[in-house]
Chain A
Amino acid sequence: MIRALSLLLLLALPARGQEALVAALSQDAVEVTTGFTGAQLMVFGSTDQPIGPGGDEVLVVAQGPNRPVVVRRKVPALGFLWVNGPSARFAEVPGFYFIAGTRPAWQLLPEEQRQRHSLGLDSLRLVSTGARHPRFRAALLDLEKRSGLWVEDTHPVEVAGSRLFHARLPLPAGVPTGDYRVQVLLIRSRQVVARQTLDFRVDRVGTADRIATVAEDQPFLYGIACIFLAALAGWVGSVVFRRS
């Protein structure tokens, strides 16, 4: 599939003029159904000059919708009971973050530029209130990485035929719904010379969506429905499985 897409892209290139960078996504919507176990998106494209050491480099960054997150630290109360103690509240934390390049970002760009554009987990701007200790930020990074929601340099951008590149974006099952933005950067001599922004959405669809929407918009009706469905299921089940 990648080959076919890449070929298509190559054929389309001359028609679009000699652009330094052309990129696209394999799909612009990810559907979360009741059977959703995660998804993989493909970012692919081509450059007008050869990619590789000494030549052009490509960096792909994807970011999901922000949400506020609290990080809590457990402390022993009375010396033996482990309870949640001090906490730090991060107001805007990306629900998904992905970065990958033909090489890691810190090798491609000057540190100052990398920090300014938030390229890399250590340069994410995370403003917190509450507990100030830097370990809270480190813990947040660690927890998000372990849940698979923050991904850094685990799926490098692969190059085929020196001018075609593609990267796989792994979306885990717990990925938040909303608008996502993917940026593809073309780097030449430690400078960003071209960039392209691509958008996609993650949406609940079908039964999963209907349940979540009703629960959110009409919680009273939803509650009543839960009561009746549970009662009905209990009654039907006892009739079906009666052993006497």
Chain B
Amino acid sequence: MLWNPALQVYLPIAEMSVDAFLLVGIGFGVGWLSGLFGVGGGFLLTPLLILVGIPAPVAVASGANQTLGASVSGLIAQWRRGNVDARMGTVLLIGGFIGSVLGVQLFALLRRVGQVDLAVSLFYVIVLGTVGGLMVMESVRAILRRRTAPQRKLHEHFWVHGLPFKMRFRKSRLYISVIPPLLIGGFIGILSAVMGVGGGFMLVPAMIYLLGIPTSVVIGTSLFQVVFVAANVTLLQAVQLGTVDILLTLLLLAGGVAGAQFGAAMGSRLRGEETRALLGLLVLGVALSLLWGLLRPPADLFSSGVAL
């Protein structure tokens, strides 16, 4: 029998037939980039899925589900090395749970009024545009500074250190108020529910620059938050909207986990600033292409969907 490169798979929740190799390939590509840059890659995955025709609600819910799977092994590895500040992670997580519950309600509301696609695109354009722009600026500045002046001191005091309800985070060597981590966690939770991302690409800079957590525990602790928030989003989306397609998730993971290992092996050979600049450009690119999708006059003015 001839080998047929197209293997159609019927996705039971999305109720459509898709080429399995295409999904595994997308998973591999996104996994490779996420391994290279050390982020979950959800922000690339969800737009790509929408691009190949998966309905936005299914893409978002299954994207969150895949983010969970892709982050688990990283979390286990970081936990073994003692790089997870469980206390800080739990505070972030409480915020994250509240945020993801709110986010799923918001998503259900948007779906009822028929603006899911617009909202998902807008969230992506605004969040990715801002984050991408900041990352590029910051890394360019870091590259320039490397040539001219010595490094800044690591530990600085920000206005956030003056707030009440202080708590001691031993692993992070911090004594700060719980309000900023709660707010950050909550914000990431909302994004996770609406965009189907883990939020690692925002959480990591927020933890470093806003909270002043040492770099050594940042990745592990953000993975801790990402895994549990993604699990919560998966559960909420499954119960409230019924949009998690496990077959889609598993196909993406099959490619994703392999790609991530190759990407990580390559990433260890790149310098930090260059990696961040590249990641920033990638994030900006996704934002711009989605913005173009919103501004371009649509080829088809009408769209239809099953009424709720």
Whether chains A and B associate is yes
Known contacts A233-B253, A233-B257, A243-B265: does B304 contact A226 (CB below 8 Å)?
no
Known contacts A211-B12, A230-B68: does B306 contact A72 (CB below 8 Å)?
no
Q: Which of A82-90, A117-125, A161-169 contacts B (4 or more CB under 8 A)?
A: A82-90
Contact A222–B238 (Cβ < 8 Å): yes
**B interface vs A, CB < 8 Å?**
8-10, 12-13, 15-17, 65-66, 68-74, 76-77, 114-115, 117-118, 227, 231, 234-239, 242, 244, 246-247, 249-250, 253-254, 256-258, 260-262, 264-265, 294-298, 301-307
- Residue A136 at the B interface, CB < 8 A? yes
Contact A33–B70 (Cβ < 8 Å): no
Minimal Cβ-Cβ distance residue in B for A173: B17
Contact with B along A154-197 (1 / 0, CB 8 A): 00000000000000000001101000000000000000000000
Known: A34-B247, A238-B73. 10 other contacts (CB 8 A): A69-B307, A140-B304, A142-B302, A176-B15, A226-B249, A227-B68, A233-B249, A238-B72, A243-B264, A243-B265
B114 CB contact (under 8 Å) in A84, A140, A209:
A84
B69 CB contact (under 8 Å) in A135, A136, A225, A231:
A231
- Shortest beta-carbon distance from A139 to chain B in Å: 4
B8 CB contact (under 8 Å) in A37, A84, A240:
A37
Residues of A within 8 A of B247 (CB): 34, 211
- Residue A35 at the B interface, CB < 8 A? yes
- Shortest beta-carbon distance from B19 to chain A in Å: 10
Contact B70–A234 (Cβ < 8 Å): yes
Contact B115–A83 (Cβ < 8 Å): yes
- Residue A73 at the B interface, CB < 8 A? yes
Contact A84–B304 (Cβ < 8 Å): no
Contact with B along A106-147 (1 / 0, CB 8 A): 000000000000000000000000000001100110111000
Contact B304–A143 (Cβ < 8 Å): yes
- Per the bound structure, the CA–CA distance linking A240 and B257 in Å amounts to 9
- Per the bound structure, the CA–CA distance linking A76 and B296 in Å amounts to 10
Known contacts A69-B307, A143-B304: does B257 contact A238 (CB below 8 Å)?
yes
- Shortest beta-carbon distance from A229 to chain B in Å: 6
- Per the bound structure, the CA–CA distance linking A215 and B4 in Å amounts to 31
- Shortest beta-carbon distance from A205 to chain B in Å: 11
A235 CB contact (under 8 Å) in B73, B117, B262:
B73
- Residue A9 at the B interface, CB < 8 A? no
Q: List 12 A-B contacts (CB under 8 A).
A: A34-B12, A70-B114, A71-B303, A173-B16, A223-B235, A225-B246, A226-B249, A227-B234, A230-B66, A233-B254, A237-B69, A241-B261
- Residue A55 at the B interface, CB < 8 A? no
A234 CB contact (under 8 Å) in B69, B265, B295, B307:
B69
- Per the bound structure, the CA–CA distance linking A222 and B62 in Å amounts to 13
